[in-house]
Structure 1
Amino acid sequence: MSITKKEVYQELYRLLLEKQKEIVESIGQLKQSAAEDTKSSAGDKYETGREMVRQEIDKAELMHREYRVQMDRLKSIDPSEKHEKVKIGSLVATDRAAMFIAVGFGKIEVNGQVVFVISPQAPLARLMMDKTTGESFTFNGAAQQLVQVS
């Protein structure tokens, strides 16, 4: 693996900050839109529009809280800590993919290499937990071998 855990950690941190910023801006725009909406329309139509905006704000605020939880979990990981066995905070390379066990974020790219950032509760992560380099496991009928754990 040509990337380090610290590089993956830093990119994930940056992406989470970016997502939080986007959500905060979106919430601000939605609130501004709701405030600018006047009752010049017919009553029911106006109330329906306001309710739809309210639902969008609620959804955005929920996403914002989730990103904050993910950031808190990420901050609890020490990217300089070396792992012999797979656990939370491990950067794992199998013969099929690179994965960072931290939060459920999805696919990111670090220095041109794809890394899947997965939650420790994900079925794939649970299969790898406590395994060391060289051990194998089967996920969705496909055998994989741990090539590197850091």
Structure 2
Amino acid sequence: MNKSEILQIIRGKLSEKTDYLEHLISETRAANNETKSSMGDKYETSREMVQQEINNLQVQLNENLKALNSLKLINTNQYSVIGLGSLVETEKGFFYIAVSLGEIRFQEKKIFVISTESPLAKAMQGKSKGDEFILNNLKQSIINLW
């Protein structure tokens, strides 16, 4: 498995999400400015709700930018022990330990991109090929590790 290519897919997805969030923030700010100029004071509540939505989008954008930045720390070399940047195969599937992103597809395979803080990543941390771990009373074996 080519971890560099998988990392590029992850970067691409995060970049798309960043662009989308920036676009939403820009549009929401423009709508908020139009509301301010044409509505008057009795619509203060709706303006506050729009501002809260902008704040929520900004939080999401900041988290996304932080995730993009953390990808710079990932080494795509072969791993012998599971940690940040590991691609792990168990009988339940493929898991790339990087950031919380969810499912991606690579070479007809589903790969779940998970954060180092996820319970699954913590259960696998420090394990090697052939080791077993238990999560939610389910025993899994590490079939392969890149």
Q: TM-score, normalised by structure 1?
A: 0.91
- 1:140 corresponds, among 136, 139, 142, to 136
Question: Which residue of 1 is the match for residue 49 of structure 2?
Answer: 52
State the SS of the aligned residue for 1:131: coil
- 1:70 corresponds, among 58, 63, 67, to 67
* 2:124 aligned with 1:128: yes
Q: Which runs of 4+ in 1 moved over 6 A?
A: none
State the SS of the aligned residue for 2:126: coil
Q: Mind listing any 5+ residue stretches in structure 1 that lack a counterpart?
A: none
Matched pairs, number: 146
Question: Which residue of 2 is the match for residue 34 of structure 1?
Answer: 32
Q: Percent identity?
A: 32
- 1:96 corresponds, among 92, 95, 98, to 92
- 2:20 corresponds, among 19, 22, 26, to 22
Q: State the Cα deviation string for residues 9-53 of structure 1 (Å, max 9, x = none).
A: 111000000000000000000011011114654633x11110111
Instruction: Find the aligned partners of 1:17 and 1:37 in 2 and give their Cα distance.
Output: 30
Q: Mind listing any 5+ residue stretches in structure 2 that lack a counterpart?
A: none
Q: TM-score, normalised by structure 2?
A: 0.94
Q: CA RMSD in A?
A: 1.4
State the SS of the aligned residue for 1:37: helix
